[in-house]
Structure 1
């Protein structure tokens, strides 16, 4: 609100849940609250929130016009050519593009739903998937650093977001994955394979290789479709999707995907 951004639907719902006194029958009562010596006028604050909630626009949209970004490495540019827009949707007659790149998730609400929604948005509608590549080094571990569990179940839910043909899919695992490969690795593969069998497709497993034999720190989830195209997103580890910590989730755009594929053996 202080940044001048309009409220989202989840903001309205959150305020009604966390501060019902602003919306209830007693919301008109005058009261003052003293916080660490600072005087907070409840009436003014209540009016400010009311005015904010009356904003109709649900999501902040930023219009980016041709050539407005001076940074050559900007994701709005393609191969360093100034002014070329590579993603987004047209929302105006002048050819301008409106885009959204990332979503923040976490806190009181687990980030799993946000991640799976992003996976459906990024991977679906681009044809059946034949390969999945995961750089998550904690993919074999079911428990997170915050001691929440669900890594295996979350990966199965991720598979359910994908357009997998009723035949076969190959999952490329990180060769540097944490956990004992003789223990947690086979358990993870057996669980995933059984999930595939129940849903009518066979799962093959492989370890991906990088051109320089280096590791990935961030968690990338790539899908190669039957026409050879690749879609991808970034986010947290699968075993951390039930944590309350905040993360960024977003789509990997064309230049980033190209750089990643150039680092991967057999993916460029």
Structure 2
């Protein structure tokens, strides 16, 4: 078993046993993103072989502060699988996660392929059917979130689950850089942010993703859901409860965590 297979198996076993594992950088280094994406692909393929399907993509590391923390100058990306999707207020078993945190994002839903290597803003706008308010549940299979860039990339960009709102808006109706965001739980605001915090605009983040995936010959397709990146600080989830994200001009969406077992 080579280093890539060992790293992938470490993540798969952490997920199956519900026990976080040691970081992967002892196997693939701290900076080799090509190796990290190879491990991500192996773990994703194992899930596809088990009957899952890809329904979209997620963008991570859109915060300049987080990029500086991990020593990188660009975002990363991961796959969204069908069993990660939840509807607004649909119960989410807390037991399915290891170390969950929530963040508010703008979700894009495409009605055209984005398969050109140098996609631009106009391409993304034309390809977007509508946008939705969303909550991403980020999670890490790595003990205590002790991650470097290769750890999070290999671990599907620390993907856990996502919740989509039900108030679609056309891009022409929303000034995405100017939107404000607040996450509330137990009548307290626990995170605030704005569209401009996501690479200047969530549209710019999707442009980056479209280019990255096209060069990897896995382009964005019509029907894909894209989580464009966090608009503010993440919030740990430690007990059952509800988190409501309000995005000005886009509406709101709630993630409701329960003590029940995952189906």
TM-score for the superposition, normalised by structure 1: 0.28
User: Which has the higher Rg, Structure 1 or Structure 2?
Assistant: 1
TM-score (norm 2): 0.28
Normalized per residue, which structure has more helix?
2
- Higher relative contact order by CA 8 Å / sep ≥ 6: 1 or 2? 2
